[in-house]
Structure formats: C-alpha cells, structure tokens
Structure 1
C-alpha cells in the first residue's frame, strides 16, 4: 500500500520491483485527476483510492486484501502541491492562504484570521517549533485580515532577524505549522501507524519517510515501543506484563539521502527513512502521548479557556 500516492512514484517503483498489486491512497482530488492519464497503462496492478492513510486497513479490506505485504508513507506536503502556487503551500509566489490537501474544510486563512492570539502562538510553537511564536502571533492579529501567502510571509519576516545567505526563509516554520494544523498531519500520522500495524501481514514491511524532527520522533518512538526497545506506560504505575513486539527493526537508525540522491533531488535533504518488519503479535491502540505527538487544545475565543498539552 502506498498511503501517500502523490504523483505515483512509489507505486510505480513497487510494481517495477515485482509487487503484484499496489493500492494507492490520496486525499487530494488533483492527484486523482492527474492519475487518470497514466493509470490504465498499469492494467489494474495499481489501484488508486481517495481517502487518508489512517483508513488504509479498511481500504485494503475493501480491495480484497485481508492483510498486505508492505506499507509506505512519505509524510508532509508533496512537490506537486508546493509547486502549484494557487494551493497556498508556498511563500515563494503570492496566492490565497489555503494549504488544504483535500481542498475542503478549514483553510490556513480561517486559522490565521479566526484563532485567538494565544492559540495561534501555541500552534506556531508546537507544530512549527517557532521560538518567536508569540511575537509572530501578535503581529498577525494586528494585521488581520491576512489573506495571501506573501502577506503572511512579510508579516513573519518583519518579526525575525534579517535572513542571511543560505538560511531558510523566516516564514518556513510558520507555514509548516499552519499546514500541519490545517491537515491534522500529526493526528493522521498516529492513526496511520496504528492502521498500518493492523493491515500488515506477519513479515510485512512498514517504511516511513519523514521530513522534520517531530514526525521523525513520533515514528521512531512508535517503532521503539512496538519492537520492545522502549518501555511502556508510566514509571509510577504498577509494572505491567510486557506486550509481545509487533515489529522488528530493520533500520536501527534513520537512513538519510547520500550525495548522489541529493544531486538528483535537493528537496530530499531533510528526509529520514525508517523501516520495520511486522511480527505475528496482535495489533493494539497507539498512545499519542507515548509517541510524543504534539497536541493543541483550542481555547474558547470568548473566554480564552483551554490549555496546551505536549
């Protein structure tokens, strides 16, 4: 299963490597429109379904696969989405502040213009690891309404020191945080790892590519816990019987791109790959706290009540 189908690169690579069938999943309607031009040439060996990878076990069953031999997840925004300026993922060109992978639901503009200043600051700090989150949130609220990508990028840049040659754009972390919030990417990842565990047959492989530290930490902790390499539960609670490992680690450390790959694909610079093999142990629920998932609790706009959980 290719849980993040995009332009279909993984799916085609898997078929070329010998997979009898690949079930692809993507929530972006644009992906499905593009795939219609080339999918027929694979004569049913690649099937594309609209949905999210947190549903992959149910989608597999609907496609007649009680268990699958592999699951690949390539997290985050795709190059296709970044390069389509009107989708609002990039600060390189002016466009509506959108960032919705599914092209439905709450947009980045809705969050930027509707959230409390404190909630917005928490979101930027927790999802984007932005140290100047409170300063940026204050500036955004003062500038409302904020409707375009360049308008937001200029507000953020005005809150931070001038960019030096070779440094990331000052708005990088803010845009990352908003994209993650709009698409519930951390929640989707936690549920997707759980779904992959349910879907994989014994001996099946889970391969996850992440692009920033929080995602990679969540994947790492999940695999450490599920392979028995990290303790479970609170140290203050009575000692419980250890669960049978659901995975065996294939890569002990994350695999990073080499110079040859970076020469072909510079966007892979921050990519980290982790791979594990499924055992016959029973699947179980994911504890979001144990795997280090950042959790933002929205405050009431009227009272400001609420709190941030980490």
Structure 2
C-alpha cells in the first residue's frame, strides 16, 4: 500500500515539477507516406522508482525529457495534460455474482466515487450473464453515481461466462466522450470459462485478448480489484490464479494496475483505493503524432531521460 503522507506537498509538486520539468521530445519523425500523420492519445502514469520500491509517496523528481516510440520509430509529442486540466472519465464495473463479502465494501466504493476530483465523469454498471446492466450513465454528478451502486446478487444464475465480453461492451460507452484521461475500475474474479475451464488461462482467453485490444485502441487504462465470485468463492487455486492472472494481464497491458490480497477475498478495499487514488493522481493524457497509417498493431514505448523515473503506459494498440 502506498502511503499518502503529504497531500498538499504532492499537489504543489504536481503543478510545479511536471510543468517545469517535463520536456517534450521534439525529434523530427521519419518521413513516411508523404509525412501524413494522425493524432494519438494514451494514458500514462509517472512515478519514481523509489516510490514504487518503498510503497511510499515522496517528492516527485524532475521527469526529464519524455520520448514516445511506436515500433521503434520516434514520434512527436504534442501535449501532456494533467489531473488539473483533464477531467477523468471512469467506468465502475462490478461482476454481479461476486460473493456476499463484496457487499460489505459498497460503502468504501461509494466514498471513493464521491471523493473523485470535481469534473470527473463516472459510469456504474454490473456485469451479468450475457449483458451489462447500466445503473448510471456517465455523469459528473458524483453523488448520483455513488447512490446508483447496489448489492450484488451473488448468484451463479447471473454469472457472466466471461467478464471480458461485458468489459468490451462497456468500452463502447467511452465513444461519446472527449479524448483525455480514461479509466475502468473492474471489480471481478477475472475468470473466463466461456470456452471451458481448460481455456481460462490468461494466454488462452480470446475474450480477454479482445478486451485488451479494444481498451488499448480507446486509450482506457483498466484498474482491477480481485474479488471472488460463484466459481472462485470455494478457493479453487487453479481457478483463482487463472482469474487473477487474467486481471493482471488486462491491467498491465492497458496501463493500469491489478490489486489482490493473496488468493482470498480482501478484508477491505481501502488499501486498494489508497493506491488507486495515487495512481489516478499521477495519470496524464499524452497526445502525440503517429506516423503509422497502415492498419496494424503497434507497440508503444514511453521513456524519460531521467533514470529514476518509471512510466506506466499501454504496451501497444491496434489501429484500424
């Protein structure tokens, strides 16, 4: 858990250090297809390696010059927008067959939504068998979004065979929103048994593959909380590890993070929310010019000239 010891100092540093210390790498991109380019926006989070190692918030060092590469080719950065000038769009997705322990944490989730920065937009939805139940469309009324939360059914009858099918559906809801800081908070066991238990590993789930690609294409970072559901509530280690591994892959490849408390139901989400708040406060919307116009998958690399800085970002995206 990352401790937030100096909130006022952190906010001050967020405004002064980044916008005096972040350099935009302006290397001229290689000429391709008559210099035609397109605009691309991705979510990035900037940390110091010391913070991540010690799990403690400290002063944010100079970020140095940032550089973006697609498939090894330098790209020109246009802007880096922070928390202060780019409101967050957050979709809260809850698997409806979570075990009853999840209902004890609804108060923590409501408080998290209410405490989001002013101007944030929140959607609340439940992942059910074959469908997604929208309880609240994207709104900047945080109190209304918080009140839309309900207890989960906890029934296997409502269990989605794959939560990632509904994640894909939820990602479509971002289409009507302006580009900027986008994220999903997924509370799920992460298990995809749509093609049988034997195909539920992180590397075999086709629905997970599609959810990752769609989230990357729409520049949405996925943060996931593991919570057991109808198939994982009995503690089956194989199913639990497959589900957690899938959540970790989804979050890691989209620029988010996955949160677990061993292989059991977390006693509280509070430690998760402390880390999540810190991650969202360090999230930026980075916009750059891409010189790649061919329909294909492109690997992304974002680096800094400061060796003490670590940048989390999507691993790539599929352009089509």
Higher relative contact order (CA 8 A, sep 6+): 2
TM-score, normalising length: structure 2: 0.28
Larger-gyration structure (1/2) = 1
